[in-house]
Amino acid sequence: MTAHLILIGDEILIGQIVDTNSAWMGRELTLRGIRVTGKSSVGDSREAIAQALERAASDADVVIMTGGLGPTKDDVTKTTLAEIFDARMVFHQETYDRIVAYFNKIGRPVSPAMVGQATLPDKAVLLPNKVGQAPGMWFERAGKVFVSLPGVPFEMEYLMTHEVIPRLLATFPTHPVKHRTLLTAGEGESAIALRIKDFEDTLPPHIKLAYLPSLGQVRLRLTDMWEGDVTPETEAQIEAELNVKIAELAAILPDLVYGYDDDSLPQVVGKILAEQGKQFGTAESCTGGYVAHLITTIPGSSAYFPGSVITYSYEMKTKMLGVRPETLTRFGAVSEETVREMAQGALRALGVDAALAISGIAGPSGGTPDKPVGTVWMAVSDGKRTVTRKHLFGRDRLKNIQLTGVYALNLARRFLLGEV
């Protein structure tokens, strides 16, 4: 089964919002063996929506549209779909009652626009939206399926999970695509390509390798493109083969690999801390709490993370962490000596077993000839051992903060594992 996604809305074309819906849908569909062969974004115009829909239907079995179902005037999706599928717009009492109940539940008045929200094409199978207003719509024509969903991410996710995916799997026989992904931090795409060239050259033709670089990280994804019949035996065989190949790949890059598939650095660090029964904290200057934020995105992080201090000013570094004024004056706030004292101060101030300290120049200004913008010092210490690193990132403030987050968590990971 193949799917094409259509994102509707001027705001996506002019870049006022970043589309995250289609990545979520791509991931969920792929996991279930539904191959996404294309995506398109169009504005809030009848002609553009109609054209995108016909093109998509010529390429794929299923067309999933999001957006353009809101109560406001700029949304034209619904009436365009009624025209395309030759349907009449009718008031749907059950949907209206559900919307009224939803508003009552969240304690808000029901706006008159909700009558419009409950007026829907009579040829659509309605997919009840229990977490918002507009229902999803399911149309069929000439063996193809067309689904329209609201653009609000959690409403789309709810309807995909509870309505669309179960119905798709019931309508079309699927053929699971298998992936395994190796997660690396600390090297670029080209350097990795060089190290794994021999591995890549000897991959069988039905296994595809993709490099997925992001800030400070590269994910290496192996995909099995098996086209033959899938029996329980071939499926087990494919899975075993992918596992062997991913292990081979990990063995070539032991210094860079931090996890697999859906792991993330904060999660991997958290898992190590939980296993070692250690309490961990941060003392952050240029990252301003970003690393603590990453750590606390993980559910249950309170088990190993009691707190942090963010010391942006000289005075705070002295007052909260006991960094000596002489150290700051002599070596500067961005120096090995300062992050060393910050880490040791954090161990005392937070009462933790291991602490990470960071000080740098995030930019865009504040650089000097010997400490340009993007210079970052970091230290991890457990009181007995302190490991420090210096990095030189770029000129973009937000990227410097994010890159520092990746490198700092990876340093903490390797420190805790005794690799550095």
| Subset of 47-86 contacting its own copies (CB under 8 A) | 48, 52, 55, 70-74
241 scored as a contact of its own copies (CB under 8 A): no
**Binder among 119, 171, 296, 388 for its own copies (CB under 8 A):** 296
Nearest residue (CB) to its own copies, 140 versus 325: 325
Of the candidate spans 16-24, 81-89, 158-166, 267-275, the one that interacts with its own copies by CB under 8 A turns out to be 16-24
φ, ψ of residue 259 in degrees (nearest 5): 180, -170
Nearest residue (CB) to its own copies, 4 versus 413: 4
163 scored as a contact of its own copies (CB under 8 A): no
Q: Are 223 and 179 in contact (CB under 8 A)?
A: yes
Other CB atoms closer than 10 Å to residue 210's CB: what's the count? 11
Of the candidate spans 9-17, 89-97, 233-241, 409-417, the one that interacts with its own copies by CB under 8 A turns out to be 9-17
Nearest residue (CB) to its own copies, 89 versus 177: 177
237 scored as a contact of its own copies (CB under 8 A): no
158 scored as a contact of its own copies (CB under 8 A): no
How far is Cα 89 from Cα 190, in angstroms, rounded to an integer?
Answer: 55
15 scored as a contact of its own copies (CB under 8 A): yes
Q: Are 223 and 178 in contact (CB under 8 A)?
A: yes
Q: What is the dihedral of CA 296, 300, 301, 306, to 10 degrees?
A: 110
306 scored as a contact of its own copies (CB under 8 A): yes
Nearest residue (CB) to its own copies, 87 versus 279: 279
299 scored as a contact of its own copies (CB under 8 A): yes
Q: Are 132 and 143 in contact (CB under 8 A)?
A: no
How far is Cα 31 from Cα 161, in angstroms, rounded to an integer?
Answer: 12
Rg of the chain in Å (alpha carbons) = 26
28 scored as a contact of its own copies (CB under 8 A): yes
The contact pattern for its own copies, residues 97-116, with x = CB under 8 A and - = no contact, is -----------x--xxxx--
172 scored as a contact of its own copies (CB under 8 A): no
The sign of the torsion formed by the CA atoms of 329, 334, 335, 337 equals positive
Angle at the Cα of 4 from the Cα atoms of 10 and 31, rounded to 5 degrees: 115
267 scored as a contact of its own copies (CB under 8 A): no
Angle at the Cα of 161 from the Cα atoms of 159 and 164, rounded to 5 degrees: 60
Q: Are 379 and 356 in contact (CB under 8 A)?
A: yes
Min CB(121)–its own copies separation in Å: 21
The contact pattern for its own copies, residues 395-414, with x = CB under 8 A and - = no contact, is -xxxx-x-------------
Cα end-to-end distance, the chain, whole Å:
47
CA distances 319 to 138, 140, 243, 316, 322, Å, are 62, 67, 52, 5, 6
Nearest residue (CB) to its own copies, 3 versus 87: 3
The sign of the torsion formed by the CA atoms of 96, 100, 105, 106 equals positive
Number of Cα atoms under 13 Å in the Cβ half of residue 205: 1
Nearest residue (CB) to its own copies, 362 versus 409: 362
**Binder among 128, 204, 325, 394 for its own copies (CB under 8 A):** 394
Instruction: Please count the residues of the chain.
Output: 420
The contact pattern for its own copies, residues 125-154, with x = CB under 8 A and - = no contact, is --------x------------------x-x
Nearest residue (CB) to its own copies, 179 versus 271: 179
264 scored as a contact of its own copies (CB under 8 A): no
Min CB(145)–its own copies separation in Å: 18
How far is Cα 416 from Cα 420, in angstroms, rounded to an integer?
Answer: 8
Footprint of its own copies on 183-212 (CB under 8 A): 188-191, 193-194, 200, 208-212
Output the 3-class SS for 142-201: CCEEEEEECCCHHHHHHHHHHHHHHHHHHHCCCCCCEEEEEEEECCCHHHHHHHCHHHHH
Of the candidate spans 164-172, 218-226, 339-347, 379-387, the one that interacts with its own copies by CB under 8 A turns out to be 218-226
Footprint of its own copies on 319-378 (CB under 8 A): 319-320, 349-351, 362-365
Structure tokens at 218: 């590269």
Nearest residue (CB) to its own copies, 225 versus 236: 225
Number of residues that bind its own copies (CB under 8 A): 106
